[in-house]
Every structure is written in structure tokens, then in C-alpha cells.
Structure 1
Amino acid sequence: MLQPIGVFDSGYGGLTVLREIVRALPQYDYLYLGDNARTPYGPRSFETVYHYTLECVQHLFDQGCRLVILACNTASAKALRNIQQLDLPRLYPGAGPHDPARRVLGVIRPTAEVIGTYSKTGAVGVLATQGTVASESYVVEIEKFFPGVTVFQEACPMWVPLVENGEYDSPGADYFVRQHIDRVIAKSPDIDTLLLACTHYPLLIDKIRQAVPTATTVLSQGQIVADSLADYLRRHPAIEQQCSKTGQRQFLTTDSPADFDRKATMFYGEPVQSIHVAL
């Protein structure tokens, strides 16, 4: 049985992260699960996001995954800590803190570990969903690694619907992109780095770059997470050795495979064929 690296997202956005992971680490097998039937996660309560995320993580474990990446900022913000600290010890009671039985990683910590190196002014803007902003996860995590950095958050509730409806390159998207860029920049004239803290937002990156001051650095998370995963596997050989390496990529969705396959190409950059799963 294959033991792929699991990659989970509430919908399609995690495919932008998977694309960069596959590019950096093509030898591994990957199993992607998009919970498209219940997306978006951003406006949902902490309890609901936690419940949905745990269900999806358990399904990936059941499919042979030993390592699962939450390629979703909202799930990482609202569910990861409980899953790591409460559920893994409960579900796998024989596994100690250094036992390679199961591991779940997110996208917030790897980003927080490096974001301060991009900013010269110590002022960073974070563009995210309402759920990620409300959790203040980036504020807390960045403080741990870069206590001198000030974080200015901006929730962008229209950006995910624009992307998922294929309007990310339309003239109509310009208004909503400019609106939130102007709002976050207005919070501090010192902001020199903007983080796209939602995996959907890279599809808007051209419009975002047009809207920001020329000296502003715009960061998406795919490459950061891919580099962090490569480092994690080097530092955890017991986990790395359990990951199968035949170069296979499989895709699961909780909604219509035909719809998923059509939209997934926008995010993944090449055609995919998915299978429906009921959770």
C-alpha cells in the first residue's frame, strides 16, 4: 500500500501549495483532498472548521498517509493545534512525542519562521480570510520568531469567491483587489511586505502587484511551505522513510469530480483527474 504525503485544503487553494511541493520534491507520492462540498471554511466557526478538518485528516490517514499537510490557512489557524496536541495522542495512544506514527503540519508556522527576513521596516501586512484574521494566528506566530515585527491584518472576503468563480483575471476583480490593498496599506505607511495568507490568493498576484507600491514585496506561501517540508523530511528521517516514492499524484474531492477537475487546473497548472469521497 502506498504511503503518500497527504495534502488537505477546504477546496482548491491548496493545489497552489501542492504544485510547489511537487516541483521541489517530485519523487514522493501525494494524495490531495479538497473538501469542496463544505467550502468555504473562512466564515465558519472554530468548532466547525476543527470538526471538518479532523474528518479529512482521518480520511487521509485511512488512505495510508503518515504525514498530512494542512495547505489551508483557515484550517491551520482553527484546527491544527487541537489535532496535534489532543487528537493525535488520543487516536494513536501508543505514539510518543518522537514516534513517527502520524504527523500533521500546517502552513502558518513555516511562513512565520521566515517572513521577518523579507521586511526591512518591520511592518508586515497579512491578507487573509475572515477566519484566519479573527484567529490572530499570524500575529501570535510571527511574534514568536520576530518580536520586532508589527503585523497589520486585512480580511478579504470577496477574494476567494472571485477566484473560485474564475473571475480572478477579470476587470471586475480590480475593484476588490484595490479596495483591500488600499485598506491594509493605509494601516501603516511602513508596510513593505505583504503576505498572501490564503492559498487562493496567488491567482490574484498579478493584480495585487499592480495595486501595491513598487517597493513592496508580495509573498505567496507555496515555495515557503515546500522548502519547509523538504527541511522537515531531512530532520525527521523516521517519517521520511515511511513516505512512498513512486511519483504518483492522486486527487480526492467531497463534491463533483467533474467540477473539481475543471477548476483545479487553474490552481495546479495542469489537468487533474479526481475521485469523489463521502465523509
Structure 2
Amino acid sequence: MTNPIGVFDSGYGGLTVLKELVGRLPQYDYIYLGDNARTPYGNRSFETVYQYTLQCVQWLFDQGCPLVILACNTASAKALRTIQQLDLPRIAPDNRVLGVIRPTTEVVGQYSRSGKVGVLATRGTVLSESYPIEIAKFFPDLQVYQQPCPLWVPLIENNEHDKPGADYFVREYIDQLLARCAEIDTVVLACTHYPLLKDKIAACLPDGSVLISQGEIVAGSLADYLQRHPEMESRCSKGGRVRFYTTDSTEDFDNHAGIFYGHNLRSAHVLLT
């Protein structure tokens, strides 16, 4: 039995993170789980997101994963801390669950010259206040402005993100963000779906703005984590194999997933009850 690194997302967005993980650390085995049957998580309650996330993490543990990455900002914001503090000691004390928010907030201040940072996210991530709280720990002088973008994930998941109609909704949210502070010079894409809109978002930002996607940052953070924790690194199997699972239609998943992952793939179905 292999011991892959688990990567979880509520849908497809985490594939943008997985792509970077495999690119940076191709020697490891990976298993991806998309909870497409219950997506989106962004507008669900904290309790619901926590219950769904814990169920998916447990499934990945059952597949032999000693380490699970929550490649979902909403799950990282609403469920990660509770799982780490309350559930892991009880269900798998030697396993670890990591998120995507902390690696991003650890470095965001290095990019901003004005000290004004924008965060584009789902409504759930914005309401959690996770980004302002975490950024303040590392860069207390940074001013953080959050902008919920509730229509972007549906646009992307319905493959409308590269159509002209998406331009209006990208411009609308960017204008709302910049209306609150015109000096924002660094913007975090705090949802793993949003890199698919990166070019459209960049076109709406002032010249010289820095746009931060999470995949590359998370991949670097994982490489550093494994180097600092040889006891965990040695438990992760190294066969270069990547497997994909979805809680919904495999046909739909396979048709959409290539947009996020960069090439065609084949998934298997998982029934979570």
C-alpha cells in the first residue's frame, strides 16, 4: 500500500495547487479528492464546512495518507484549526493536516510597497477574517482590504471564465475593491479557482500591481515542511503516482478538471455518507 500526500478541495480549484505540488515535488505519490457533489463550500456555514472537510480528511487518512493539504481556502478558514486541535489527537495523532492560508500570509508583506493589500475570496473566507488575522501576525503594519467575489467560482466551474461575459463580473469586484483603497498594490487570489481568471484580473488592476496565486507558494511551503520534518517525509511514498477521486460524476469531473490541472485525467468515484 502506498502512503500518498492527500490533497483536498471542495471542487476543482485545488487542482491548481496540486499541479504546482507535482511540478515542484514530482517524486511523491499524491491522491486528490474533490467533493464536487457538495460544492461550493464558500456560502456554507462554519459547522457544515467543518463536517464535510473532516469527513474528506478521514477518507484520505483511510487511503493511507499521513499528510493532507486542504487546497481550499474556505476549508482552511473554517475547518483547519478545529481539525488540527480537536480531531487529529483523537483520530490520527501521528498524521498532519495543513492549509493554504498560512503559507500565503507568511510572505504577502514581502510584495507590497504601499503597505495596502487586497484579498479576493469567497464570501465564507472573507467572513472568517482568516486573512486579516493571519497577515497581522506576520506583518502587523499591513492594511488588508477584503473583497468577496461570489460569482467567480460558478463562472469558472461552468467554463464561462474565458468568455467575454466574465469580464463584467471581474471588473465589478475589482472596482469595488479599489474603491475602498486606491493604493492597493498587491492582491491575493485567496481562492484556488481564481488563477483561471488571472489574466482578466490583472487587466483590471493598476500597472505595477502584484497578483499572488497560491499554488507556487504552497508548493514551496510543503517542500520546506518536508525538509524540516524528516519523520513525516519518510512516511510519504515516492512512486510519482497521482490519483484523482470525486464525490460526483467522474465524467463531469474529467471534462472540467483538465482546465485546472493542465492536461486530461481520469478519476474514480467516492461515495461519502
TM-score between both structures, scaled by the size of structure 1: 0.97
Residue aligning to 1:5: 5
> Aligned with 1:251: secondary structure?
strand
Pick from 99, 120, 123: which aligns with 2:116?
123
1:1-279 equivalences under 5 Å are 1-92=1-92, 95=93, 101-279=94-272
Unaligned runs of 5+ in 1: 96-100
> Aligned with 1:168: secondary structure?
coil
Deviation at 1:203, TM superposition (A): 0.3
Write the letter of the residue equivalent to 2:120: L
Q: Residues of 2 paired with 1:23 and 1:266: CA distance?
A: 16
Q: Residues of 2 paired with 1:155 and 1:106: CA distance?
A: 20
Q: Residues of 2 paired with 1:49 and 1:247: CA distance?
A: 31
Deviation at 1:90, TM superposition (A): 1.6
CA deviation string 1:124-150 (max 9, x = no partner):
000000000000000000000000101
Deviation at 1:215, TM superposition (A): 1.3
CA RMSD of aligned residues (A): 0.5
CA deviation string 1:142-161 (max 9, x = no partner):
00000010100000000000
Write the letter of the residue equivalent to 1:219: I
> Aligned with 2:112: secondary structure?
coil
CA deviation string 1:46-99 (max 9, x = no partner):
00000000000000000000000000000000000000000001213xx3xxxx
Write the letter of the residue equivalent to 1:154: Q
Q: Residues of 2 paired with 1:22 and 1:64: CA distance?
A: 18
CA deviation string 1:102-140 (max 9, x = no partner):
000000000000000000111000000000000000000
Deviation at 1:178, TM superposition (A): 0.2
Q: Which 4+ stretches in 1 moved above 6 angstroms?
A: none
Deviation at 1:190, TM superposition (A): 1.4
Q: Residues of 1 paired with 2:39 and 2:194: CA distance?
A: 15
Deviation at 1:186, TM superposition (A): 1.1
Write the letter of the residue equivalent to 1:201: Y
Number of residue-to-residue matches in the alignment: 272
> Aligned with 2:36: secondary structure?
coil
> Aligned with 2:187: secondary structure?
strand
Unaligned runs of 5+ in 2: none
CA deviation string 1:173-211 (max 9, x = no partner):
000000000111111121000000000000000101111
Write the letter of the residue equivalent to 1:26: P
